[in-house]
Structures are given as structure tokens and as C-alpha cells.
């Protein structure tokens, strides 16, 4: 069984001079990539990291991410990738919940003070023993009292050999939104990650001479498995893009002769609308996931760039790919394709019985891609894993040719720009505001992001607050992809006879308003 660490080391030995990472003016060969990861690994071992210890990593798409990610793997650790937009409160929760012993955090930018938020969180978590800040200044040794990566690896020789791991050992812990409560850490094994990356490689028809443009965030399962890990397994090159800008992406495709691209629907919309005459003829395949891709977007992209888009479906708990449009099968716009090799997908009714072809049912999955379980949450694991099947909560249907269509997502889950946002966390934090008596958060249709977040608020008796002030307060509490873009104060919310807020009534109101606006 090949591990991720073994794959990197093999490429460093077999193709040491092959370009592995490109980012701006920085280029690293596989030998350099492996050596730097080995220095990180040696530093961790010297600090007392034991096999299976968890290490948090907060970093955008710059070379530090794959270097530290694979350094943790070589040391036998477990990577806990964190969304770079998380704020202090959220980082603290993830460090505590994952029981991370070490924390690597990028310095950030003036607009995104990652290290500032990270250091504040780290100082509140006694169990997290050490923190390292990754800075672009190579000679900087300390950042606000925290050692930098430069100082961390300065005296470390590359680890002579990676720490061996078994196929069932945990490889990463990916935090997933779910539908209720706080984020849960999905434990994915070495086998989960390697098998899914190998399948992704096969589905895309990728080879070692491919060049992948990686603008999907690497802390997210999609970019991490389908792009970074798949590239390392095949010894391909990665062009890392920290921030998606359509014109920049098109120029990089032309400059580096990129052959494969993966994105979420909003990225394809941006590329379709970008005026550019860059030569993108080397691009041969594009992948879409994270949310449903509108048919018109597919047609526009494919007619302009003469490149097929393959849609897929998956979740953090499934490493992530579960279904995919296959190159040797007819593609049907709107379908997420067929189950991948080695994975079974069924649709079941409320009693767990399979539904007939053409009928809607809950998507359940089993196979090499399904997680070990939720970290330290046996009850949540038992609820999700029933009779050997992972219950997604998503509703789908199959056609006569075995193509699956996702009909609806989890009832209350909001998917904004490919990121899962769960209303309950937002509601619980809003309820801490001194003026708020009740709140309901829903997703409303949005042309750019798929869904946008809206909060309906009822104030306490005799309390006063303005909608703009509540909006600004919410903005301070959450990562940029989470906070409600719209806050509406109401006298009351629709309620059932049992006192449950009827979110479906709020969604129906929004739909009626949008329908009226369209007719007007």
C-alpha cells in the first residue's frame, strides 16, 4: 500500500529534476520539494511528534502548503487543514477539537491577518504545544514571538526516510459542516486518500507530463485530493494560484501550458465572462464540483475553450469523489455521472430500502473512499454510518443508464461558492448578541455564489438594533464565506404548532419575491 509520503519520495528519486511546484517566480523540483518536506518532518520529530499526532495547517495555495502537508506525512503525523478565512474563535475550536499538538500558520496579508488570528487562538489552547508561522521573508526568524518556518528548519537535515504508516492509519482530518452543531472532523485514512487520488488521476486521464492549475483551496478536500495529491502520485506539475482571478488564471494556463483545471461553478462563470485572447489550447480537461453547474455555463465554457467539463459528486467524508462523469461514457449536463470504481452508491427511502430507478432517494455510499468516522464523535459516526453505508443526507435519482442526478442537498445546508455553511452555528453565535431574541438563517438563491446567506432576526422586547449594525457585528464573528450578507429584522418568525421555526416558509417568501421581481 503506497502512502502519500512514499509517493513523494518515489518521485524525488525517479524524477528529481522534474518541476513539481510553480507559484509566481518560485519553482521547485521534486527533489527540492521532498527535501524541504523532509526538513519539516525532521523538525517535527525533533520536537517530539509521534506517529498519529495531529498537526493543524492554515495556509493558502502557496508552496508552504504542500511542503508542510507532506512534511507532516513524512513524519507520520496527521494533517488537520484549516480554512484560511477562519477567525480566532473558530481556529481555537478546531485546535481544541482536533487535539492538535502543533500548528503551522501562514502570515497572511493586511486584508487577511491569518497569523494574528492564529496566534491569538494558539495562546488560548494549552494542549497545542508549538506554533510555527510561515513568512515570505526568508531571513525572518521570529514573527510576533513565534518561530518562523525558516528558523524551524534552519538546522534540520531532511528526514532520511519517511515514517511508515499502515493503510488504515489516519492520514488527514477534514472538518466538515454537516447540518447541525459545530464542525466535525472526518478521519480519512491513508487508503482513503491514496485510492481517491488514484481514481481521480484515472478519471481525468492524467499522466506525469500533465500540468495542473490549482486555484481550488488546498485546505478543501476537492483541491487537496483531485489536484495536489493526484499530481504528486503521478509526478505531474502543479501551478499554485492563491486567489482566483479569471484573467490571471487564463494567462497562467497560456504561460505554463496547463493541461488540467478544476474549479467550482463560480470560477467557470468568471472564466466565461473574462475578456481574454490568451492561448489556452493546451488545456484538455476541466473538472467541476462543489455545487451543481448550470447547463448554460457548461455550454458557454465548452464552446469557447473547446474543453470538456466533467462534473463529479462527493463529500469530505468520501475523500471526496464518489461519482464522476467518465471520459468513456456520454456526458449528460446536470448529471454527476456514475459511481467511481470500487465504490457503491445507492438511493434509499426513509426506511433504508432501495428506491426504483427514476425515483428520488437519499444518497448512501460505501467503498474505499468512505471515512473511518468522525473524530471523537462515536454517536455522530453511528448516525452517519448505518449497516456499512454512509448516509449523506443528499437526495438524488438515477436514470436508466446509471447516471446520478443530485436533486437537493441536506435540507438546511447552505452551499455558498462551493463552501458548506451550516445555519445552526451562525444562529448560535447570533443568539449571543444582547439585542437578539430569535434568529433563523437560510440560504437564498444567488447567481454568482449559488446561494447567499440571510439572517432573519427578532429583537428582544425593548431592545434596539439596526440591520446594518447587526450585519457588521456578524461580519466580525465569522470567516468571510460564512457571515450573512443580509440581515432582516422582523416582529416575528413563522412557527409551527410545536414552536419550531418554519424555515421553509421563509424560503417560500424569498422564492415568491424573486418570482415577482422577474415578472415585473
Note the pLDDT of residue 234. Answer: 95
Note the pLDDT of residue 412. Answer: 73
Note the pLDDT of residue 231. Answer: 97
C-alpha cell at 32: 527540492
Give the model confidence (pLDDT) of 86-112 as tens digits: 999 999 999 999 999 999 999 999 888
Give the model confidence (pLDDT) of 310-327 as tens digits: 999 999 999 999 999 988
Note the pLDDT of residue 126. Answer: 96
- CA distances to 193, 368, 513 from 187, rounded to whole Å, are 10, 13, 42
Note the pLDDT of residue 43. Answer: 96
Is there a contact between 86 and 113 (Cβ–Cβ < 8 Å)? no
Give the model confidence (pLDDT) of 182-222 as tens digits: 899 999 999 999 999 999 999 999 899 999 999 999 999 99
Helix, strand, coil abundance in the chain, percent, nearest 5 = 35, 25, 40
Residue 497 has pLDDT above 50, yes or no: no
Residue 439 has pLDDT above 60, yes or no: yes
Question: Rounded mean pLDDT of the chain?
Answer: 92
Residue 120 has pLDDT above 70, yes or no: yes
Give me the mean pLDDT over the 349-354 stretch: 90
DSSP state of 24: T
Q: In 63-137, which ranges are continuous DSSP H helix?
A: 64-74, 88-98, 114-122
Residue 179 has pLDDT above 60, yes or no: no
Note the pLDDT of residue 158. Answer: 85
Q: What percent of the chain has pLDDT over 90?
A: 76
- Torsion angles phi and psi, residue 475, rounded to 5: -60, -35
Residue 410 has pLDDT above 80, yes or no: no
- Check the CA dihedral 254-255-259-261 and report its sign: negative
Give me the mean pLDDT over the 48-57 stretch: 97
Q: CA-CA distance, 370 to 366, in Å (whole number)?
A: 6
Note the pLDDT of residue 198. Answer: 96
Q: CA-CA distance, 514 to 78, in Å (whole number)?
A: 46
Q: CA-CA distance, 251 to 433, in Å (whole number)?
A: 46
pLDDT-derived band at 265, boundaries 50, 70, 90 = confident
- CA distances to 55, 137, 205, 230, 322 from 265, rounded to whole Å, are 31, 35, 22, 21, 18
The more confident residue out of 460 and 239 is 239
Give me the mean pLDDT over the 28-34 stretch: 98
**Domains of the chain listed by start with CATH number:** 29-165 (3.40.50.980), 414-519 (3.30.300.30)
- Note the pTM of the prediction, 2 decimals: 0.84
Amino acid at each position: 500500500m503506497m502512502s502519500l509520503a512514499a509517493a513523494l519520495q518515489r518521485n524525488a528519486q525517479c524524477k528529481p529534476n522534474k518541476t513539481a511546484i510553480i507559484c509566481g517566480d518560485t519553482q521547485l523540483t521534486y527533489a527540492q520539494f521532498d527535501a524541504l518536506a523532509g526538513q519539516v518532518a525532521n523538525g517535527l520529530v525533533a520536537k517530539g511528534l509521534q506517529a498519529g499526532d495531529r498537526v493543524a495547517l492554515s495556509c493558502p495555495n502557496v508552496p508552504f502548503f504542500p511542503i508542510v502537508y507532506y512534511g507532516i506525512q513524512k513524519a507520520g503525523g496527521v494533517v488537520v487543514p484549516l480554512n484560511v478565512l477562519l477567525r480566532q474563535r473558530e481556529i481555537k475550536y478546531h485546535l481544541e477539537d482536533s487535539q492538535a499538538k502543533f500548528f503551522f500558520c501562514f502570515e497572511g496579508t493586511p486584508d487577511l491577518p491569518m497569523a494574528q488570528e492564529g496566534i491569538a487562538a494558539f495562546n488560548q489552547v494549552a494542549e497545542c504545544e508549538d506554533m510555527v508561522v510561515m513568512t515570505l521573508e526568508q531571513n525572518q526568524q521570529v514573527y510576533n514571538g513565534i518561530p518562523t518556518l525558516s528558523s524551524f528548519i534552519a538546522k534540520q537535515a531532511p528526514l532520511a526516510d519517511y515514517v511508515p504508516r499502515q493503510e488504515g492509519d489516519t492520514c488527514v482530518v477534514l472538518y466538515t459542516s454537516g447540518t447541525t452543531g459545530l464542525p466535525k472532523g472526518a478521519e480519512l485514512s491513508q487508503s482513503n486518500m491514496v485510492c481517491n487520488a488514484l481514481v481521480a488521476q484515472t478519471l481525468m486521464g492524467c499522466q506525469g507530463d500533465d500540468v495542473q492549475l490549482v486555484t481550488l483551496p488546498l485546505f478543501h478536500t476537492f483541491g487537496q485530493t483531485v489536484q495536489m495529491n493526484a499530481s504528486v502520485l503521478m509526478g505531474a506539475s502543479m501551478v499554485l494560484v492563491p486567489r482566483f482571478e479569471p484573467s490571471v488564471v487564463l494567462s497562467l494556463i497560456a504561460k505554463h501550458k496547463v493541461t488540467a483545471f478544476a474549479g467550482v461553478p463560480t470560477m467557470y462563470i468568471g472564466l466565461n465572462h473574462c475578456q481574454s485572447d490568451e492561448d489556452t489550447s493546451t488545456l484538455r480537461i476541466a473538472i467541476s464540483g462543489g455545487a451543481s453547474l448550470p447547463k448554460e455555463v457548461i455550454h458557454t465554457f465548452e464552446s469557447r475553450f473547446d474543453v470538456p467539463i466533467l462534473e463529479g459528486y462527493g463529500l469530505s467524508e468520501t475523500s471526496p469523489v464518489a461519482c464522476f462523469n467518465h471520459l468513456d461514457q456520454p456526458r449528460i449536463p446536470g448529471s454527476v455521472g456514475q459511481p467511481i470504481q470500487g465504490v457503491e452508491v445507492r438511493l434509499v427511502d426513509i426506511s433504508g430500502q432501495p428506491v426504483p430507478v427514476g425515483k428520488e432517494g437519499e444518497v448512501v455510499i460505501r467503498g474505499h473512499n468512505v471515512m473511518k468516522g468522525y473524530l471523537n464523535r462515536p454517536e455522530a459516526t453511528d448516525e452517519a454510518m448505518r449497516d456499512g453505508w454512509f448516509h449523506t443526507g443528499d437526495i438524488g435519482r438515477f436514470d436508466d443508464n446509471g447516471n446520478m442526478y443530485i436533486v437537493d442537498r441536506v435540507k438546511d445546508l447552505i452551499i455558498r461558492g462551493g463552501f458548506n455553511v451550516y445555519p445552526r452555528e451562525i444562529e448560535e453565535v447570533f443568539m449571543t448578541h444582547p439585542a437578539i431574541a430569535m434568529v433563523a438563517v437560510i440560504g437564498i438563491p444567488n447567481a454568482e455564489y449559488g446561494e447567499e446567506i440571510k439572517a432573519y432576526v427578532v429583537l428582544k422586547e425593548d431592545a434596539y438594533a439596526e440591520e446594518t449594525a447587526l450585519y457588521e457585528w456578524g461580519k466580525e464573528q465569522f470567516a468571510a464565506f460564512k457571515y450573512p450578507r443580509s440581515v432582516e429584522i422582523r416582529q416575528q418568525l413563522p412557527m409551527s404548532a410545536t414552536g419550531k421555526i418554519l424555515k421553509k416558509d421563509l424560503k417560500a417568501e424569498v422564492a415568491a419575491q424573486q418570482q415577482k421581481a422577474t415578472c415585473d
